[in-house]
Amino acid sequence: MTHYLASVRAVENAVGVQIPDNARIIRNMLHGAQFQHDHIVHFYHLHALDWVDVVSALKADPKKTATLASNVSEAPWGGVPYFKDVQNRIKTFVQSGQLGPFNNAYWGHPAYKLPPEANLMAVSHYLEALRLQAKAARMHAIFGAKNPHLQSFVVGGVTCAKDLTPDRIAEFLFLWKETQDFVKKVYLPDVLAVASFYKEWGGIGGTTNFLAWGDLPESDNEPESLFMPRGVIMKRNLAGVKMASPDEVTEHVAHSWYKGDAARHPYKGETQPQPGEYDTTGRYTWFKAPRYEGEPCEVGPLARVLVAYAWGKKEIKEIVDDVVSKLGIPLTALFSTLGRTAARCIETVAIGNAMEKWTMELIGNLKKGNTKTYESWEMPKSAMGCGLNDVARGSLGHWVEIENKKIKNYQLVVPSTWNLGPRCKNGKLGPVEESLIGTPVADPKRPLEVLRTVHSFDPCIACGVHVIDPDSNQVYKIKVI
């Protein structure tokens, strides 16, 4: 849905149409649901097993686990029989030799620090989150027709006018509440519980500069009304936060498989592929290297939360202060892998809370008889437009140039390119590259620590690891989830 939103906004910007309030609110509600869904799935299903040893959970005492669980979270499930049952289910997996979703990982790695009871609790929440995320996705179906790939956004507004009934809105609120209860009563407590065993990761995996286009506009007034604000922070200087402008973006290709080595603004962007060898001293990737004022910038939850915090955004600041104080870590520990994972949860709480307010605003409009969801417009002969967004994974921009009512040029600068892009023309490392430097690796054949930081940026993973020893040229192939 995120590129859908970005693209609709880019074309709307080009053709010069201002969407009605209700369309803006419905897009925010669906975008909020996307944040809830994506971040829950990322934490439990794509990232938690970097910190949680599933096999160790077999050694847990279900009684102690039940006590631990009731101390750390208000999860609606628990108790000794429940944890015994979960443990038996894991046992069945292990004994059958088929670990299913837990197959192929570094179980028993010395970098796992949780006691068996915490591991069992986390695995049970992994399983509960699988059920929950399926429900959360249904929010999209109500006003977006389906998930994935919604189809109710059009240039000028939304098309779900017939779904703006009390029944459909109540259905949305019901799903929202169940999801947000999980976020506040399970996800946040779990992040705090797991993080308390990994505080050293508050000093590992950090980057230097942070960019957020911001998103979730609460009026037509942008960027001022963005619930997640726009801004850029250079050299970790929160006090120096400043407004970000798309004019400062360039994309470098000197180390990427594209023709030439000029750094261009997306409006002047070229996509001329030039396949080549993988050469880390030369060109080594299909990603371009986006830069802001010539600097690499991390985008995503941590960037958004830091920018919001630096601007003094109340709804974010109070949760950040609470998390930092409960963990007993300094604010500077947020510049890290731990901070990135915590920030993802922090913004889920804040955005999830705001969704209720937006839904009430929509109901208020409908009650007043304001049912407008679309503004008409005409395709200009030529135009240029840009849609700036901040989606689950980070800052996303679409740039479109229209000529003779057709697309002449289109460029996307996506979160993964910002975070995972290569060195630029000036040799500056991309954010993920930079974040990995200094990471401890206890066992090069099982680089769990590297995966922790890479995963914390939220790429989805199903990978084979090839470990090459340059002395012996021996290749180890280790499958990891």
Partner 1 sequence: MAKKIMIDPITRIEGHLRIEVEISGGKVINAWSSGQMFRGIELILRGRDPRDAPLITQRV
Is residue 75 a contact residue for partner 1 (CB under 8 A)? no
Helix (H) or strand (E) holding 227: strand 226-228
| CB nearer partner 1, residue 367 or residue 477 | 477
Q: Is 133 within 8 Å of 82 (Cβ atoms)? A: no
Is there binding between residue 430 and partner 1 (CB under 8 A)? yes
In the list 414, 418, 428, 456, the residue contacting partner 1 (rule: CB under 8 A) is: 414
Q: Cα(121)–Cα(109) distance, rounded to whole angstroms?
A: 19
Residue with Cβ nearer partner 1 (107 or 284): 284
Q: How far is the CB of 251 from partner 1 (least distance, A)?
A: 12
Using alpha carbons, list the distances in angstroms from residue 454 to 7, 17, 47, 370, 443. 27, 39, 10, 46, 17
Please count the CA atoms within 13 angstroms of the CA of 282 that sit on its side-chain side. 10
379 binds partner 1 (CB under 8 A): yes
Q: Is 352 in the site for partner 1 (CB under 8 A)?
A: no
CA pair distance 361, 331, nearest whole angstrom = 34
- Is 360 a residue that touches partner 1 (CB under 8 A)? no
Contact 183/274 with Cβ under 8 angstroms?
no
Choices 87-95, 99-107, 348-356, 467-475 (CB under 8 A): range interacting with partner 1: 467-475
Nearer to partner 1, 87 or 208 (CB): 208
Residue 20 exposure: Cα atoms within 13 Å on the Cβ side: 20
Q: How many chain residues bind partner 1 (CB under 8 A)?
A: 74
> According to the binding rule CB under 8 A, does residue 384 interact with partner 1?
no
User: Is residue 6 a contact residue for partner 1 (CB under 8 A)?
Assistant: yes
- Rounded to 10 degrees, what is the CA torsion of 325, 38, 110, 476? -150
Give the footprint of partner 1 on residues 282-301 (CB under 8 A): 284-287
The reply on whether position 451 binds partner 1 by CB under 8 A is: yes
Q: Can you tell me which of 146, 177, 326, 408 binds partner 1, judged by CB under 8 A?
A: 408
- Secondary structure letter of residue 430 according to DSSP: P
Q: Count CB neighbours of 470 within 10 A.
A: 6
Among 96, 162, 330, 462, binds partner 1 (CB under 8 A): 462
Alpha helices in 78-137 (DSSP H): 80-95, 116-136
Residue 438 interacts with partner 1 (CB under 8 A)? yes
Question: Which residue bears the tokens 């208020």?
Answer: 364
Should residue 105 be labelled a site residue for partner 1 when binding is judged by CB under 8 A? no
Task: Please give the structure tokens belonging to residue 101.
Answer: 């979703």
Whole-angstrom Cα distance, residue 280 to residue 283? 6
Closest CB to partner 1 among residues 56, 133: 133
When asked if residue 228 is in the footprint of partner 1 (CB under 8 A), the reply is no
Interface with partner 1 in residues 234-273 (CB under 8 A): 257, 269, 271, 273
CB of 62 to partner 1, least distance (A): 35
Q: How far is the CB of 312 from partner 1 (least distance, A)?
A: 33
| Closest approach of partner 1 to the CB of residue 447, in Å | 5
Check residue 159 for interaction with partner 1 (CB under 8 A). no
Q: 138: which 2 tokens?
A: 């249904």
The answer to whether 396 touches 2, Cβ cutoff 8 Å, is: yes
Q: Given the rule CB under 8 A, which of 56-64, 215-223, 290-298, 442-450 is the region that contacts partner 1?
A: 442-450
- Asked if 465 touches partner 1 (CB under 8 A), the answer is yes
Task: Give the shortest CB-474-to-partner 1 separation in angstroms.
Answer: 11
Q: Which of 333, 270, 272, 288 is nearest to 306 (CA)?
A: 333
Q: Is residue 411 close enough to count as binding partner 1 by CB under 8 A?
A: yes
Give the residues across from 385 on adjacent strands.
400
Please choose, from the candidates 258, 298, 336, 294, the residue with its C-alpha nearest in 3D space to the C-alpha of residue 415: 298
CB of 425 to partner 1, least distance (A): 16
Q: Does 314 bind partner 1 (CB under 8 A)?
A: no
Rg (CA), the chain: 23
Q: Hunting for tokens 């505080």 — which residue is that?
A: 199
**CB of 267 or CB of 311, closer to partner 1:** 267
Q: Does 374 bind partner 1 (CB under 8 A)?
A: no
